[in-house]
Amino acid sequence: MPELRTEEFQINMGPHHPSTHGVCRLLLTMDGEKVVEAVPYVGYLHRAIEKICENRTYHMCIPILDRFEYVTSMSCNYVFSLAAEKLARIEVPERAEYLRVIMLELNRIASHLIFVGTTAMDLGALTPFLYGLRERELIMDLFEMTCGQRLTYNYIRIGGVSRDIPPQFVPKCREAVRIIGGKLADYEGILNENPIWLARMKGIGYADPQQAIAWGVSGPVLRASGVKYDLRRDDPYSIYDKFNFDVAVRWNGDNYDRFLVRIDEIRQSLKIISQALDGLPEGETRAKVKARFKPPAGEVYVRIENSRGEMGVYLVSDGSEKPVRVKTRGGSYNQLQFLPEIVRGRGYLIADLVAIFATFDVIMPEVDR
Amino acid sequence: MLLALMSLELVHIFRWAYGLLADTGLPALWVLLISYALLGAIMFGVLAVLALFLVWWERKIAGHIQQRFGPMRNGWHGWYQTIADAIKLLQKEDVTIDARDRFIFFWAPVVCFVAAFLAYICIPFGNGLIVADLNIGILYIMAVTTFTIIALLMAGWGSNNKYALLGGMRSAAQVVSYEVPMVASILTVIIYVGSLSMVDIVASQQSFFTWFIFRVPFGPIAFLTYITAATAEANRVPFDIPEAEQELVAGFNVEYSGMKFAMFFLAEFLNMFTVSAIAVTLFFGGWNGPWLPSWLWFLGKTLLVVLLLMLFRWTYPRLRVDQLMEFAWKFLVPVTFGNLILAALMKYLGWYW
Amino acid sequence: MGVLKDLKNLILGMGITGKHLGRHAVTIQYPEERWTMPEGSRGIVVLLSDKETGELNCTSCLLCMQACPTAAIRIDAPRGEDKKRRLISFDIDFGLCCFCGLCEEACNFCALKMAPKYEFSTLTKDELVWDMKKLQEMGRDVDYVDTRKKKKPKESVPGPAAPKADTVASPPANAESAKPEEPKPETPEQEEGNG
Domains along the sequence of chain C with CATH:
38-148+166-179 (3.30.70.3270)
Is residue C156 predicted with pLDDT exceeding 60?
no
Nearest Cα neighbor of B268 from B44, B122, B50 is B50
> How high is the pLDDT of residue B292?
80
> How high is the pLDDT of residue A217?
92
Q: Indicate the angle between helix axes B28-65 and B294-315, nearest 10 degrees.
A: 40
> Are A190 and B315 an interchain contact pair (Cβ–Cβ within 8 Å)?
yes
Backbone CA torsion sign across B128, B131, B136, B141: negative
Residue of B nearest to A132 (CA): B66
SS3 state at A224: helix
> Are C10 and B316 an interchain contact pair (Cβ–Cβ within 8 Å)?
yes
Question: Using CA atoms, how far apart are residues A333 and A42, in angstroms rounded to an integer?
Answer: 10
What stretches in chain A show pLDDT beneath 70? 1, 18-20
Question: Using CA atoms, how far apart are residues B306 and B55, in angstroms rounded to an integer?
Answer: 11
Q: Is the ipTM of this complex over 0.90?
A: no
Nearest CB to C38 within list A56, A144, A285: A144
DSSP annotation of C18: H
| More reliable by pLDDT, C192 or B119 | B119
> Are C14 and B68 an interchain contact pair (Cβ–Cβ within 8 Å)?
no
> Are B61 and C16 an interchain contact pair (Cβ–Cβ within 8 Å)?
no
> Are A349 and B321 an interchain contact pair (Cβ–Cβ within 8 Å)?
yes
Min Cα–Cα distance to chain B from C1, Å: 14
Nearest Cα neighbor of A353 from A26, A31, A10, A43 is A26
Host H or E run for residue C45: strand C45-47
B56 Cβ neighbours under 8 A, 6+ residues apart = B71, B78, B79, B81, B82
Question: What's the pLDDT tens digit per position in C91-145?
Answer: 899 999 989 889 988 888 888 888 888 888 889 988 889 988 888 888 888 888 8
Min Cα–Cα distance to chain C from A146, Å: 8
* Total-model pTM: 0.86
- Please state, for a pLDDT cut of 90, what percent of chain B lies above it: 17
> How high is the pLDDT of residue C187?
39
Q: Chain B contacts of A127, Cβ < 8 Å?
A: 65-66, 314-315
Is residue C178 predicted with pLDDT exceeding 70?
no
Is residue C52 predicted with pLDDT exceeding 50?
yes
> How high is the pLDDT of residue A109?
94
Q: Residue A257 burial by CB count (10 A; 0-12/13-18/19+): exposed, middle or buried?
A: buried
> How high is the pLDDT of residue B8?
66
> How high is the pLDDT of residue C1?
64
> Are C190 and A148 an interchain contact pair (Cβ–Cβ within 8 Å)?
no
Query: What string of DSSP letters covers B97-125?
Result: P--S-HHHHHHHHHHHHHHHHHGGGG---
User: Looking at chain B, how many residues does it have?
Assistant: 353
Q: Chain A contacts of B65, Cβ < 8 Å?
A: 127
Q: Chain C contacts of B231, Cβ < 8 Å?
A: none
Question: Using CA atoms, how far apart are residues A97 and A80, in angstroms rounded to an integer?
Answer: 15
Phi, psi for A315 (deg, rounded to 5): -110, 125
> How high is the pLDDT of residue A100?
93
Domains of chain A: residue spans and CATH = 48-329 (1.10.645.10)
Side chain identity, residue B13: I
Q: Chain B contacts of C20, Cβ < 8 Å?
A: 64-67
Question: Using CA atoms, how far apart are residues B121 and C40, in angstroms rounded to an integer?
Answer: 65
Question: Using CA atoms, how far apart are residues A305 and A333, in angstroms rounded to an integer?
Answer: 15
> Are A199 and B314 an interchain contact pair (Cβ–Cβ within 8 Å)?
no
Residue of C nearest to A66 (CA): C100
Question: What's the pLDDT tens digit per position in B144-162?
Answer: 888 888 888 888 888 777 7
Question: What's the pLDDT tens digit per position in B265-296?
Answer: 888 889 899 999 999 998 988 888 887 888 88
Nearest Cα neighbor of C99 from B176, A126, A155 is A155
Question: What's the pLDDT tens digit per position in B7-64?
Answer: 567 777 778 888 887 787 778 788 888 888 888 898 889 888 998 899 999 999 888 8
Nearest Cα neighbor of B220 from B73, B311, B342, B68 is B342
Side chain identity, residue A311: M
Question: Using CA atoms, how far apart are residues A8 and A344, in angstroms rounded to an integer?
Answer: 14
Q: Chain B contacts of C29, Cβ < 8 Å?
A: 69, 72
> How high is the pLDDT of residue B4?
57
Question: What's the pLDDT tens digit per position in B170-224?
Answer: 888 888 999 999 999 999 888 888 888 888 888 888 887 778 888 777 888 899 9
Min Cα–Cα distance to chain B from A28, Å: 11
Q: Give the count of Cβ contacts less than 8 A between chain A and B.
A: 67
A342-363 burial, b at 16+ Cβ within 10 Å, e below that, comes to: bbeeeebbbbbbbbbbbbbbbb
Q: Chain B contacts of C7, Cβ < 8 Å?
A: 224
